[in-house]
Amino acid sequence: MKKGKAGSSSLEERIISHEAHVVVVGLGYVGLPLAVELAQTGFPVTGYDVAKKRVEHVNAGKSDILDVKDEVLGPLIKAGKLSATTDPKVMAQADCVSICVPTPLSKTKDPDVSFILDAVNAIKRHLHPDMLVILESTTYPGTTEELIRPMLEETGLKVGKDFYLAFSPERVDPGNPIYNTQNTPRIVGGTTPECARITKLFYEQTIAKVYPVSSTQAAEMVKLLENTFRSVNIGLVNEVALMCDRLGMDVWEIIDAAASKPFGFMPFYPGPGLGGHCIPIDPHYLSWKLKSLNYYARFIELAGDINSHMPEYVADRVAHALNEEKKPVAGSKVLALGVAYKRDISDVRESPALDVIRLLQQRDAVVEYADPHVPEIKTDNGAMKRVAVTAERLKKCDCAVILTDHTGFDYELICRHAPLVFDTRNATRDVRSPKARLVKL
């Protein structure tokens, strides 16, 4: 077997014995849960992050990630199984490095891989034989092979011979009570068959099921297909909502009825737009890549166009509903209920609720927001702090707009005291005899 660092056993042996030192680059919503899972399995784990405050919080046993509880993180830190650092020299002691950094889009919807490049440059300076490098950050097909591999091979070490390189996309669903890092199947694509084998072995120590594919490009494409599937289907059902509005139909009734079919239909639901880091962004990685091959990804672009315009549609519907109450938008008091991008989480990244608030403020509406998970947001008019949902506040508002269907909201209270409720999530479906005028998307 191949030897790694002086006097050490092979990487394969260290992985099987859980002695391999793992460095997780990026301690956000992907990296920290992975680091915790690996540490719980018995691997010595170091989290590397450029954010000093985040590193300090982790080392203090404090988590700002919904899926990692302090009572789980704290004991791992105290026992020395997990630590965090801002020093990239930790890479020199790593057997396995997992890159879990953000991959945003630029304003022109081009991939911003600067965080990946920064991570790879840090690894490159400390790359050594028998080291496994895995990219988990979502990106366009070809990134691992065309971007990362040449950078690492500039050291003189050869992939598949001296070190191992693979892509394994994160599949995190923040706040999901059923599926987490451990029980969500893991896709693995290696730059060589040996890279794939070692990477599969590594994940099998912590993940219930590992599914290998033929290449890093295939693994990169799998993640983009998953999120493009959701984006396109949400775009379809959002357009159906627009159609039902024109036809005077209840889109929620239509979807529920269609979902009664036990085959050939999967229900998706409309809303005020798409949010989160993945679904609004990832399909555009694929679209961007295909443009370089002179191919126009029509479904992706059309779905993106429909979904991105939903906040405008919601703002228009709110204005219309107020107008029917003989009230102009300007000066009307609007209570936005929920600003997180989905139910029962605190993540506001790309949240359509923020766009709806901005659009209503541009029309001179007086907007307040309530969210049990988000204490403060930033708007074009400055920082806003959340307010409490009380009977008195509801009575004083002109319209309550449900933008995120948190389970912590009392929808009976809302529909009993607000004069007008615009529900973009069908959260009020079980409310009996609402006193408010109730308008649904």
Please name the residues in contact with 387: beta carbons below 8 A apart, sequence gap of 6 or more.
335, 368, 369, 370, 393
Torsion angle defined by CA atoms of residues 324, 327, 330 and 331, in that order, rounded to the nearest 10 degrees: -150
Strands 399-402 and 420-423: parallel
Beta-strand (E) ranges in 302-441?
333-337, 366-370, 376-379, 382-385, 399-402, 420-423, 437-440
Is the Cβ–Cβ distance between 371 and 389 less than 8 Å? no
Burial class (CB in 10 A: 0-12, 13-18, 19+), 292: exposed
Q: How many other β-carbons are positioned within 10 Å of the β-carbon of residue 326? A: 6
Among 96, 278, 397, 399, the one annotated catalytic: 278
| Cα-only R_g, the chain | 24
420: left (phi over 0), alpha (psi -120 to 50) or beta: beta
278 catalytic, yes or no? yes
Strands 186-190 and 164-167: antiparallel
Task: Give the helix ranges, DSSP H, for 11-69.
Answer: 11-16, 31-41, 52-59
Q: How far apart are CA 405 and CA 431, in angstroms?
A: 13
Active site residues: 278
